Copies of this chain bind each other. A is one copy, B any other.
Amino acid sequence: MSILVVGSVAYDTVETPFGRAERVLGGSASFFSVAASFFAPVSLVGVVGRDFGEKQLAAFRGRGIDLEGLEQVDGDTFHWQGKYSYDLNARETVRTDLNVFEFFKPRIPERYRRSEYVFLGNIDPVLQRDVLDQVERPRLVACDTMNFWISGQPAELKKTLERVDILLINDAEARQLSGEWNIVKAARAIRSIGPKTLIVKKGEHGVLMFSEDGSFAAPAYVLEDVFDPTGAGDTFAGGFVGYLAGALGAGERTLDTALRRAVIMGSTLASFCVEAFSLDRLLRLTRAEIDDRYRLFKRLTFFEEL
């Protein structure tokens, strides 16, 4: 039930109304890996520069994440700088330095090629397919993308999506990709391209899932203190794919049951992520805390039959 994740490992500089963090660990594959590591073994494929620190590597190792696929090359690590106002659903990118990530070409180590679960982080859809060409028949492929590829590489993206089981994107991306405003119509159009399951992330408004078993809607966990939303979507994806890999690996046979629980688990992990800068909260999280919050999630959303 091992998970292969390919995506960005970065330094983030983030400003929110509650504080500022300078050059802290970030990147989609970082948040994903740490979240997923609570449920299944994770192998990370990415690239960092010479400025990437031993402390950051130790954080991944502390979560048991396999780093053979994390290349370190000459140059600086990808750096993203962003700023949030009180409306934490909207953010402004102040600066993006791709650095070594600009020339990232994922190479999958031999040992990773039999990974049963694959998560293709938000990179060029041609590279995403390139990853799939290097692995042997994974049981499940999940994928993220963004507006940049939807508008810039639509044909390549569609070719990738034909080989994807689960697509995880936000509501604006779902509308852009499908050309449909209504989210049910958007989901039908996107699922007809390939992904049997579509997860639509709506930030503080929760998640919608469209699958062969119908629709599932979950609110976000209600939090009094949201400190920094950076990485919440990637953390959701990590909790979601991680839980799914663990459950299916442990013999759960009802896919719909596992998918619904995975959405709640992803949302649970994301709710911890936003409580602190960077991966700070995730790195001191315990499985007991996760399970407690899952139970509170049940309590938050429960209502009786008629």
| Chain A interface (Cβ < 8 Å from any Cβ of B) | 86-87, 181-185, 202, 205-206, 208, 214-220, 222-226, 257, 260-261, 263-264, 291, 294-295, 298-306
Q: With A and B bound together, what is the CA distance between A214 and B295 in angstroms?
A: 14
Q: A181-B86, A181-B87, A206-B205 are in contact. Are A260 and B304 (CB under 8 A)?
A: yes
CA distance A182 to B220 in the complex (A): 14
Cβ-closest chain B residue relative to A216: B300
Specify which of B182, B184, B205, B216 is in contact with A301 (CB 8 Å cutoff): B216
Dominant SS among interface residues on chain A:
mixed
- Within the complex, which residue of B87, B184, B216, B224 is in contact with A184, where a contact is CB–CB below 8 Å? B224
Q: For the complex, give the distance between the alpha carbons of A211 and B303 in Å.
A: 14
A90 CB to nearest chain B CB (Å): 12
A301 pairs with B301, CB closer than 8 A: yes
Expressed in whole angstroms, the Cα–Cα distance for A66 and B142 within the complex equals 56
Contact between A217 and B219, CB atoms less than 8 A apart: yes
B215 touches A222 (CB 8 A): yes
A291 to B305, CA, bound (A): 10
* Copy count, this protein chain: 2
**A306 CB contacts on chain B under 8 angstroms:** 261, 291, 294-295
B208 x A222 contact (CB < 8 A): yes
With known contacts A181-B86, A205-B206, A306-B295, A301–B223 Cβ distance under 8 A: no
Q: List residues of chain B with CB within 8 A of the CB of A206.
A: 205-206, 217, 219
Output the least CB separation between A215 and chain B (Å).
5
Q: A205-B202, A206-B205, A215-B222 are in contact. Are A302 and B183 (CB under 8 A)?
A: no
Most B Cβ at <10 Å: residue of A184, A217, A301, A303: A303
Using CB atoms, name the residue of chain B closest to A290. Answer: B306
Closest to A298 in B: B305
Q: Do B222 and A300 have beta carbons less than 8 Å apart?
A: no
* Chain B: minimal CB distance from A11 (Å): 28
Residue pairs across A and B with Cβ atoms less than 8 A apart, 17 shown, are A87-B181, A182-B224, A206-B206, A208-B222, A214-B299, A214-B300, A215-B222, A215-B300, A216-B303, A217-B222, A217-B301, A218-B219, A218-B303, A219-B219, A257-B304, A260-B304, A261-B303
A226 to chain B: which residues have CB within 8 Å?
Answer: 182
Q: Which residue of B lies closest to A220 (CB)?
A: B217
Cβ of A266 to closest chain B Cβ, rounded Å: 12
